[in-house]
Amino acid sequence: MTISQDLFDRAQASIPGGVNSPVRAFNGVGGTPRFITKAEGAFTYDADNNKYIDYVGSWGPMILGHNHSAIKQAVLEAVENGLSYGAPTETEILMAEKVKALVPSIEKVRMVSSGTEATMSAIRLARGFTGKDKILKFEGCYHGHADSLLVKAGSGALTMGVPNSPGIPEDFAKHTLTVSFNKLDEVKEIFAKFGEDIACIIVEPVAGNMNCIPPVAGFLEGLRAICDEYKSVLIFDEVMTGFRVAKGGAQAYYNITPDLTCLGKVIGGGMPVGAFGGKTEIMDYIAPVGPVYQAGTLSGNPIAMAAGLKALELLDIDGLHDELEAKSKRICEGFKAAAEKAGIPLTTNYAGGMYGFFFTSEETVTTYQQATECDLERFKKFFHLMLDEGVYLAPSAFEAGFVSTAHGDAEIDATIAAAERAFAKL
Ligand code: PMP
């Protein structure tokens, strides 16, 4: 019995499923989740003293590697002045100014404490601003677990096979329309039917909750044009892609300007933070200046702001994201070559510091349907072989992988060498 097994047994007696967020329970891959005791740079360590090259990166935020010394220092300095005030601080202004400088489509920004809060609030704002009720999302895209967004969702909802959760009244869900990601024709069709009632389109500009699926050429441009035509709000959910795909997020990478942007994870540098922002005209519709209510006791928390601001400052280096993308590319090409050697069909995708690999013989994977038709059994085996090799991949075939600046050549070479051995055993 390992210490992780022992802890998992104990956890299950007091915490539903032993975890505070479903995918952590290894439901998608089976086996015992590793209980982590510390993380440093590219590595995590578990309770049994195993060391892993980590590609989860706290599900995205650790772009600079775990426990970055400057972020840690910023937190320690902030802690000296108290943990929370429930009153405004200058650090919040600095944070807002930094976000605006990095993401020019954001003219005003409101801090929240999670990605779920960011998307939930952005949707409410879009509905309030347009006076329309319906929203359009894409099958397999995950935008947190707010009621209207947990419809045909990705991530844990997809991993666990519960794309529609009980507890969401039909009356709520009926306002959420869903079509296929990367299928502009379907978007046009549904707008032709319901366009006048659609408050917004919300999209992950690079889908990262059904593995990693970048937009096909023209898709995001098409969404922009449709939103302009019907006066719907275009919301980019950049909780995962923000500051990861490029300094200015996927909107900079693909050069498309959304009306609202949701951010999360990354802007807390590892602390619980999210944000939504965009055009002044829309953002000024929110309380206390506007009629749409939104609030949060811990929003803009001084410790979280100190960590996040430092992370954004450190990320604001020219060439850093090219370096991240080069790492994603090396992993994808390395995995592909290793799989080929073992006679296993594999397809890969990447954008900036996020990547994905699919056990499929399809040449490219661009749709939700293709992602769900991959060989999940093979993924499970591969995941565990890699874990045994000391490589911690996302424990689900429906999550993206994340690299950080702390992943050096040595770690990436070791990962590809481990993959070669793992593919050979499949
Ligand atoms: N949007 C996207 C694109 C996400 O990937 C996630 C979380 N993985 C969320 C929203 C929800 O964020 P949180 O888990 O912080 O509520």
- Note the pLDDT tens digit of each residue in 218-227: 999 999 999 9
Q: How many domains does the chain have?
A: 2
Ligand 1 centre distance from Cα of residue 117 (Å): 9
ipTM for the whole complex = 0.99
Q: Using 50, 70 and 90 to split pLDDT, how confident is the model at 156?
A: confident
Helix ranges restricted to H, 296-319: 302-315
Indicate if ligand 1 lies below 6 Å from the C-beta of 268: no
Ligand 1 mean position to 100 CA, how many Å? 21
Domain closes at, from 294, 315, 336: 315
Determine the Cα–Cα distance for residues 238 and 206; give it in Å rounded to an integer. Answer: 8
3-state secondary structure of 202: strand
CATH number of the domain enclosing 288 = 3.40.640.10
Which of 315, 340, 355 is at the close of a domain? 315
Neighbours of 317 (CB within 10 A): 11
Using alpha carbons, select from 35, 354, 81 the residue that is nearest to residue 204: 354
237 lines ligand 1 (CB under 6 A): yes
In whole angstroms, give the CA distance from residue 77 to residue 141.
Answer: 38
Active site residue 237: yes
Q: Clarify whether residues 40 and 76 are in a common domain.
A: no
Domain coverage including residue 371: 3-67+318-425
Ligand 1: which atom is nearest the Cα of residue 262?
A: 1
Distance 141 CA to ligand 1 centre (A): 10
240 CB less than 6 Å from ligand 1? Answer: yes
Q: Report which residue type is found at 146.
A: A
The strand order across the sheet containing 233-237 reads 108-112, 274-278, 260-264, 233-237, 198-203, 134-138, 176-179
Share of the chain above pLDDT 70, in %: 98
Q: What is the pLDDT of residue 153?
A: 80
Question: In what helix (H) or strand (E) does residue 171 lie, and over which residues does it extend?
Answer: helix 170-173
Q: What is the CATH number of the domain that holds 347?
A: 3.90.1150.10
Q: Are residues 130 and 145 in the same domain?
A: yes
The pair of structure tokens assigned to 245 is: 């795909």
Q: Is 293 a catalytic residue?
A: no
Q: Is the pLDDT of residue 216 over 60?
A: yes
Before 214, cis peptide (omega within 30)? no
Q: For residue range 372-423, list pLDDT tens digits in order.
A: 999 999 999 999 999 999 999 999 999 999 999 999 999 999 999 999 999 9
Rounded to an integer, the average pLDDT of 208-237 is 98
Is 228 a known active-site residue?
A: no
> Would the pTM of this model clear 0.95, i.e. be above it?
yes
CA of 328 to the centre of ligand 1 (A): 21
Ligand 1 atom with the shortest distance to the CA of 274: 15
